[in-house]
Structure 1
Amino acid sequence: MADEAGANTTIDPLANGEDTAPQAGMISQYVKDLSFENPNAPAVYQWQGQPRIDVQFNIGSQQAGEDVYEVMLKIDVRADSADKVAFQVELAYAGLFGLRNIPEDQLQPFLLAEAPRILFPFARRVLADAVRDGGFPPLLLEPIDFGALYMSQLQGQQDALANAEPEGQA
């Protein structure tokens, strides 16, 4: 009997009633705002040549509740041809993420790199469908390495801080 009592020596992380393991999960995803403009229709469909396409991204996050964060991927696309707008799309695609027991130093990398990586394929589809529904070939954005973008932005901020003059010196 003594052997049986001592045989179960595995440690249960929930034995004390606390769940301390880091957890992250998507609760929901949604189109927060979508605008498609085709200001030169129907003439635009007669234009010759490929339009010049400019794509801009912006990533933001905010706390939406206890252990819940909204991450928004904003994509602005403008297609110009012969100095006229062929089409313009503005998409704000967001997701709610539940985050528990995430170390403070890992919160920003998750919200600004990993969460956008999860949202991007869905936002890409919404954007492609909107452009196609506007009468143009679907705009299929290339995959984006949000982790590398985050690291690059972080490095740029650190470089700017290192190069800044201390206050009071000229």
Structure 2
Amino acid sequence: MSEQTDAGGAGQEPPPLIINAQYVRDLSFEVPHAPGIFTEMRTSPEISVNVDVQASPVDEQRKVFEVRLKLNAEGKVGDKSAFIAELEYGAAVTINAPDEQVSPLLLIEAPRHMFPFARNILSDLTRDGGFPPVVLQPIDFIALFRQRVQAMQRARQQQQAQGGDGGAA
């Protein structure tokens, strides 16, 4: 068995996804109704969270991309915003895979690796802002990817229905 491991390791291909760096691109925390909101709170704020993932090429020749995981959380007490937290967490990644695998690697696998770090930043941010920490449950990035693909297909179908072939000659 060790012979196979040794022989297989020498010519082994690089992993399909390499995370070169992770970083905070943008971070914002607002408490629009401070300090009064702290005296009005009787329970934890009601939390809503929006998640978005985007990717763009940095160096297409070397297959280096930037992936951005955006988390927006708002806490409400009644009809008032208790806090608004916005985090854009980035990663520079290298893809070593065929072209048809690039999108799933960028929009599913990369954010799956980034998410625990972004979740901790958001949790610490809300806690340090004077509120109970926002602890996000794991996100199904496969479902988000499928929703994105379906939305693009619907938009393409609508465009074709409205404009025919889009003016191509």
Give the TM-score of the pair, scaled to structure 1: 0.79
Match of 2:135 in 1: 140
Provide the aligned C-alpha RMSD in A: 2.6
Aligned counterpart in structure 2 of residue 55 of structure 1, from 49, 54, 65: 49
The alignment status of 1:26 with 2:19, answered yes or no, reads yes
Post-superposition Cα deviations, 1:1-43, rounded to whole Å, max 9, x if no partner, equal xxxxxxxxx99x96xxxx9766321111011111111122222
User: How many residue pairs are counted as aligned between the two chains?
Assistant: 155
Structure 2 CA distance, aligned partners of 1:146 and 1:112? 7
Distance 1:160 1:116 in 2: 25
The change in CA–CA distance for 1:29 and 1:168 in structure 2 (over 3 A counts) is closer
Amino acid of the structure 2 residue aligned with 1:130: L
Distance in structure 2 (CA, Å) of the matches to 1:159 and 1:57:
21
The structure-2 alpha-carbon separation of the partners of 1:22 and 1:42, relative to structure 1 and needing over 3 Å to count, comes to closer
Which runs of 5 or more residues in structure 2 are unaligned? 1-6
User: Contact 2:47–2:74 at 8 Å: present in 1 too?
Assistant: yes
Tell me if structure 1 keeps the 8 A contact 2:25–2:88. Answer: yes
* Cα displacement string for residues 28-82 of structure 1 (whole angstroms, at most 9, x for unaligned residues): 1011111111122222222224423221112111112232111010111111212
Q: Is the 8 A contact 2:17 2:105 kept in 1?
A: no
Matched, 1:151 2:146: yes
Greater share of residues in helix: 2
* Match of residue 94, structure 1, among 90, 95, 101: 90
Q: Which among 48, 52, 73 is matched to residue 77 of structure 1?
A: 73
TM-score (norm 2): 0.80
- CA apart distance, 1:162: 4.2
Q: CA deviation at 1:85?
A: 1.4
**Is there any run of 5+ residues in structure 1 with no aligned partner, and where?**
1-9
Once the two structures are aligned, what percentage of the paired residues are identical?
40
1:121 corresponding residue in structure 2: 116
**Corresponding residue number in structure 2 for 1:108:** 103
SS in 1 for 2:27: strand
